[in-house]
Chain A
Amino acid sequence: MKSRRIIIIVLLLLCIAVGAYWLIRRARKPPIPTEENPDKFGKEVDIKTLLGTLSFAPKLESRENSSRYWLYVDGRIVTTRASPESHAESLKPVEVLLVPGEYNVEVGTTTPDGDDSGSTFPFEFRSQKVTIQAGHVSRVSLSVEPMRYGEPTPIFALVDPSSEWFEAWVRRVDSEIQAFQKDATQQAFLDVFNALRQSPPARASVYINLPAEKGGGREFDADEVRLMVGWLKRHRSRTLSALPADFVARMPDDMRLRYDQVLKAINSYQDYVAQFEEIATKLAAARH
């Protein structure tokens, strides 16, 4: 009987000891590494370089035939350089630090002095895939030759302001305006314009979802936007612009009255396109 009691007491003491040990262990917090604590880090096991380098070299046959260019990585502008024709510096390679992975490198070039006829979209993009590895340099070279003009659109010939001619001209204006309204490029600009109306851009570039035939959606900076708005203005200007004053003066009165009405529509179109310049203004302001 007595020995049973002793066993029970021993067991109880054992339980208390185990419990106390457990509680102490639980209460003891793991040491939090601090500056003063030399054991903050364990034994060094590896050193990892975090970034890789993309080295872009502009490819050019002659400096006289080159364009200002924009370097893109995955649709985002990395840098822009003046034409090597006037800036030899622009021929130096561009280095971009990137997290390892696969990227699409693109270079956007433009026409040397713009295109007065507006027949050619002001950009052309050339691309190449590249794999970036940590601690390595991956080289890409793409041509920065300027793009070529397309065929200018025919001008609607000015002949005698007969009623047949005038009706044909009005139909042409109307169909151009209709085509403009359906144009995916101007729609993309309108979306961006509306988006930026109430919120300034936090960055100096903005994504514009251009249709695939214009190079597809990507970022554009203020200068690029200005070039494209210029193109939008000129693109249909061979039809959608005022007729020469001396030609209008030769119109009969009733035709001139109608002409004034059509001219209002043309002016509205021009004002509409001009408002897109505000996008460039806001992007330029975001730069500062």
Chain B
Amino acid sequence: MNTRLSRQPKHPFSTSCCLILLLACCFIGASSIAAPDESTRKHSLVVVTKGINDEVSNAWTQFANGVAPTEETFVILDGGETFDRVPIIGQLLTPHPSSVKSTNIIRIDNPDDPKNQALLKKIAETPNAKVLVDMNLGLRVSEKSWGPHTEWAGKVARSLAEAHVSKYPDSETLLVGHSAGTEPIASVPLYDADSRRLLFDKRIAVSPRRDSGYPEGTICIFKDGDFYYSPGGRITMDTITRVLGEREAEMLANRGYAVVRVAAPPGPSFEPESGGLVYLADYASKYLAQTLARNVGERFPAHTDPTSIFDQKEKLVLYLPHTEESIELKNTSISTGLEALNKVNTTTRTETPSSGSTEALKDAVKDLTEKEPTPGLGGISLNATARLPVDAAEVAHAGFDAQQRRLYLKMRNGNVVWLPTSDVQVLRQGYEFGYLSDVKPELSISNTFFDTPDGRRIVNLTPPGRQPVYYFGHTEDTLLGLVMYLADQTLGKLTFGSTAAVHSIAEKVPGFRSMPELYPEKYADHPASQRFLGSEARVFTHPSLIELTHTPRGNELEFGNTQFSVEFGKSGPAEAVFASFLESHFHEIANTESGAPFKQLVAYARVLAIFRWIKENKITFEEHGLASEPMALVFTPRDATPFDLPSLNEIAPRAPTMLFGPAGPVKIINRDQKETVVSYANGRPIRVQRYDGGSLEILRDDLGVPVAVRMNGTEEAAFYNDPTLGLVLAANLRVEGGGRSLSVHINDKTVLIPEKRPEETVSLMVARFAIK
């Protein structure tokens, strides 16, 4: 939808956590997730070693259980009852019932014990197994607390791999670790001692804790701003003062690792959900341990974010081993980056993995980015390819069963895997556009002309007061076209609608606010609104993940996770909050009466994604009469009524809510209608006046650089250069005077915290102080 307006993703519902298992899917793909039928399985072993005992590390196990309920999953514990437990108020609780069979949760204290060796061998001989190696690390980061557990995990991973490749030499094996769980990647030997075959064909270190020691070809994934290395749990001054970034990515590449780096946007987000509490009072009374704690609070989002591999990122940078050149991918998910690296990966069972040439990677990136939504689109793009838990190489053909009116996959061994049921008309259109034409169905409601990526300018003249509708992929006058049109109208209404227009949605989906409600200065009709939006603004949505999983019945698949991404042509803090909310509540909205067109869109997006998977994997499709099913003839509008921005009196923001300005939130209204006001100067926060009378003041120099902070007029802190530590944030001191006589009185209880990015620290303080 193109209206008088613009994106940004960031899922608050942290998919976050868990997706190490999805990384596994990316690399071993279908084969890694066991088809229940023994004879259709391709042998594989995925070993996942989680990080420290925090919510993130536990959450991925829940995810794994949800995504692959029939998959053979084992959990190996080294002492604590950490599996499926989340630390809540100091206790480990089980928030969700575990879907891993209790008999598959095994405690192995000493992996060298012959009895345990036999047990590990038995697990490893499961033809298609995923093993979650759950270290009982606790929260402490030190060599002493890490060493025994990472060593244990390394031994378990090694024993599993040795037993597995000995029985299945052609099997695919993957070792994935996150944070402390990346340590075993460094300790497990590269080759099996007997067969000289690689123990793990692929190794992925998410948020690596070291810059050396992993085998060459290991893929390292991290986000800018993540904790600096702490090899073996060793904390150095660098660990405290530095963070991972571009330089570290280049060094990792230099040492023979492939790197997926998420280039972080400047400054932290203003999402209320983010992180723990950081207050000046905390700084004032604590010392080095607290310094680290503060760093944890600040860096934790970057530490966990790369585990959400399907979220669209601001920018990804890919580095190949031993190359200086890097490749940038804008607004792409880590899964796409991994897929690109995977495409150029040339691995044999007996050679150290190599990640191909930069040129090949560029080609792979090009192929993948061609699948991205067309630039400049304001509407809908159905660009996704499904992720199936089936090895495409094992599929003899796919087809349509006319009697059951359902798609199926015929495996080479003769077995049949049934795909989820769908409406035949949807299947027919999916076959037409996803398989026969192999196009990317898209719709855009925009200006009188549209520039296509191949340089063509399409002109669509419309009557005065109407906006042209562009259908791409030959979808005009089809049901698919109409579904996209209606979904775009819904998207437009949700994005640009008045309070009354989105009332029915807001009632069913608490917390929903349209853009005019969040940012009336920009998205409401008033004399100065042109200053904000210019002639137009656009928003679009497209599926970012369509996943199929096995049903418990075995020989059939069902739809798993389906995610849509909502993007603006140009985004600021308000757009980011809106998009994030819409993404995380997409299906809730689709289930409301007003959001019904989204439900239709989901149905088409899923079927198209399946056909695209069949096509991309060059699988023959036996249509058995599907082609002769008549395609419904419908009229699809060539033009549409533009969405006029609501007038100011049509907007009645309801508490709790936030109101935004160009620089960020300017007013936060809580449930009791009490307001917190954030003031800015030259686009930077200078004061927060909280609803409860609390205030936070940021003193800056004439260039806007933060110099000191004053909370509630009493707690004070300052940024300055310390002769030994460099730039520091000093707390528990007095800030006096103003202007050129602004000074700090330092006492022997003053705490000095090494500081790298004062503006980010200030933003974090502002956000957390404001939303308390």
Contact = CB atoms under 8 A, between A and B. Distances in A.
A50 interface: yes
A113 interface: no
A73 interface: yes
Contact of B662 (A31, A100, A199): A199
Contacts of A48: 718, 720, 743-744, 746
B738 to A, nearest CB: 10
Contacts of B108: none
Contact of B746 (A45, A73, A95, A278): A45
A74 B708 contact: no
A41 B747 contact: yes
Given A46-B746, A53-B740, A285 B528 contact: yes
Give the residue among A46, A96, A281 with the most B Cβ atoms within 10 A. Answer: A46
Given A73-B703, A199-B572, A200-B531, A42 B743 contact: no
A49 interface: yes
Nearest to B705: A99
A191 B569 CA distance: 15
A112 interface: no
Contacts of A78: 702-703
A249 B284 CA distance: 83
Contact of B5 (A198, A201, A204, A282): A198
Given A45-B748, A198-B570, A50 B534 contact: no
B285 interface: yes
Contacts of B522: 200
A96 B702 contact: yes
A100 B721 contact: yes
Interface string B177-216: 0000000000000000000000000000000000000000
Contacts of A76: 703
Interface string A35-75: 10000111111111111010000000000000000000110
A29 B649 CA distance: 53
Contacts of A258: none
Given A198-B534, A198-B570, A202-B682, A42 B748 contact: yes
Contact of B682 (A196, A200, A203, A282): A203
A78 B704 CA distance: 10
A198 B702 CA distance: 28
B359 interface: no
B465 interface: no
Nearest to B707: A50
A51 to B, nearest CB: 6
Interface string B522-558: 1000001001111111000000000000000000000
Contacts of B721: 100
A181 to B, nearest CB: 15
Nearest to A48: B744
Contacts of B404: none
Given A32-B281, A48-B746, A202-B683, A41 B703 contact: no
B742 interface: yes
Contacts of B733: 41
Contacts of A135: 740
A76 B707 CA distance: 18
Contacts of B683: 202-203
A95 B741 CA distance: 14
B630 interface: no
B532 A198 contact: yes
B6 interface: yes
A265 to B, nearest CB: 17
A221 to B, nearest CB: 12
A20 interface: no
B662 A202 contact: yes
A198 B746 contact: no
Interface string A71-109: 001101010000000000000000111111000000000
B732 interface: yes
B6 A45 contact: no
Contacts of A47: 743-746
Contacts of B5: 198
Contacts of A49: 740-743
Contact of A282 (B531, B570, B703): B531
A195 B747 CA distance: 48
A244 interface: no
Contacts of A45: 746-748, 750
Interface string A235-258: 000000000000000000000000
Contacts of B570: 195, 197-199
A154 interface: no
B714 interface: yes
B734 interface: yes
Interface string B701-722: 1110101100000100011110
Contacts of B749: 33, 40-42
A159 B166 CA distance: 92
A198 B533 contact: yes
A43 to B, nearest CB: 5
A44 B732 CA distance: 11
Nearest to A196: B534
Nearest to A44: B747
Interface string B561-572: 000000001101
B739 interface: yes
A26 to B, nearest CB: 13
A44 B535 CA distance: 59
B663 interface: yes
B734 A41 contact: yes
B743 A50 contact: yes
A99 B534 contact: no
A35 B716 CA distance: 12
Contacts of B743: 47-50
Contacts of B747: 41-45
A199 B534 CA distance: 8
A240 B701 CA distance: 46
B172 to A, nearest CB: 46
B168 interface: no
Nearest to A195: B570
A204 B285 CA distance: 41
Nearest to A202: B683
Nearest to A282: B531
A42 B285 CA distance: 11
B680 interface: yes
B296 to A, nearest CB: 20
Contacts of A199: 6, 532, 570, 572, 662
Interface string B378-401: 000000000000000000000000
Nearest to B741: A49
A50 B738 CA distance: 10
A74 B720 contact: no
Contact of A43 (B284, B732, B748): B748
Nearest to B699: A50
A30 B285 contact: yes
Nearest to B740: A53
B379 to A, nearest CB: 17
A200 B662 contact: yes
A184 B255 CA distance: 39
Interface in A141-157: none
Task: From A40, A42, A100, A198, name the one whose CB has the most chain B CB atoms within 10 angstroms.
Answer: A198
16 contacts: A32-B284, A33-B749, A46-B746, A47-B746, A49-B740, A49-B741, A96-B702, A98-B703, A99-B703, A195-B570, A196-B534, A198-B532, A199-B532, A199-B570, A202-B680, A202-B683
Interface of A: 30-33, 35, 40-51, 53, 73-74, 76, 78, 95-100, 134-135, 195-204, 278, 281-282, 285
Q: Which 6 A-B pairs have the closest CB atoms?
A: A202-B683, A197-B534, A42-B749, A42-B748, A202-B662, A42-B747
